[in-house]
């Protein structure tokens, strides 16, 4: 199982320290949420902060764009060192074109689905999707509680991927903790994003190790 701590939950006053903690931990990716205050009712951080993260990070950058019109910024995020670039299905009018543009810049292409969006919308495009990010909370804020319907969506996504003969990874974002990590992996999840649960812990490094061991 891939574990991607979400830097949205880190202490921004000690961002370098948080990055170094993730570097030294058993975590696999950095999950980075970019929000524009339009697609979601919150604004996080943008290009200058991502550039600082990239400078210190020694693990892949899993960048999640919660923004309208993400196509405008694909090449910018490539230049900033993003390894995976995930866009929202709900924000893309021409999703196939967007995914091709991401891949043309040398990044892996991800698609995120909000809790209300069924997995079936990706039936005709799943083979072009490297990472399918299922939101298990409504996007925009950290620290929300996990939506139980997510397990069903993970199973549906796994079936869709297998039937298409695709190699898409399933990633879960929102409310991930020791309570649900094992069940999510058993349902078919390949990657888990953990934010508040890791960064609010007394010992984040140990919490990352426990999540990895549990799942």
Known catalytic residue at 69: no
Nearest Cα to Cα of residue 132 among 178, 176, 95: 95
62, 130, 173, 190: the catalytic one is 173
Quote the tokens at residue 30. Answer: 């950095």
Q: First-to-last CA distance in the chain?
A: 7
Is residue 128 within 8 Å of residue 147, measured between CB atoms?
no
DSSP 3-state of 2: strand
Quote the tokens at residue 36. Answer: 């524009």
Known catalytic residue at 36: no
Query: What distance lies between CA 1 and its chain's CA centroid?
Result: 14
Residue environment code for 98-117, b if the CB has 16+ CB neighbours within 10 A, otherwise e: bbebbeeeebbbbbbbbeeb
33, 36, 62, 128: the catalytic one is 33
- The residues carrying an active-site annotation are 33, 173
């Amino acid at each position: 199982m891939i574990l991607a701590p979400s830097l949205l939950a880190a202490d921004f006053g000690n961002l370098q320290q948080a990055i170094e903690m993730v570097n030294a931990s058993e975590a696999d990716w950095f999950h980075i949420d970019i929000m524009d205050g339009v697609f979601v009712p919150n604004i996080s951080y943008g290009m200058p902060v991502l550039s600082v993260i990239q400078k210190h990070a020694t693990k892949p950058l899993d960048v999640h764009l919660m923004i309208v019109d993400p196509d405008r910024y694909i090449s910018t995020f490539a230049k900033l060192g993003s390894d995976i670039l995930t866009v929202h299905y709900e924000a893309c009018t021409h999703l196939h074109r967007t995914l091709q543009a991401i891949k043309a810049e040398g990044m892996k292409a991800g698609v995120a689905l909000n809790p209300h969006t069924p997995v079936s919308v990706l039936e005709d495009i799943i083979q072009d999707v490297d990472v399918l990010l299922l939101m298990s909370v409504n996007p925009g804020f950290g620290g929300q509680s996990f939506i139980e319907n997510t397990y069903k969506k993970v199973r549906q996504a796994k079936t869709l991927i297998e039937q298409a003969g695709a190699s898409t990874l399933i990633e879960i974002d929102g409310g991930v903790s020791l309570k649900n990590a094992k069940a999510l992996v058993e349902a078919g999840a390949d990657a888990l994003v953990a934010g508040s649960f890791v960064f609010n812990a007394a010992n984040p490094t140990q919490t990352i190790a426990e999540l990895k061991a549990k799942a």
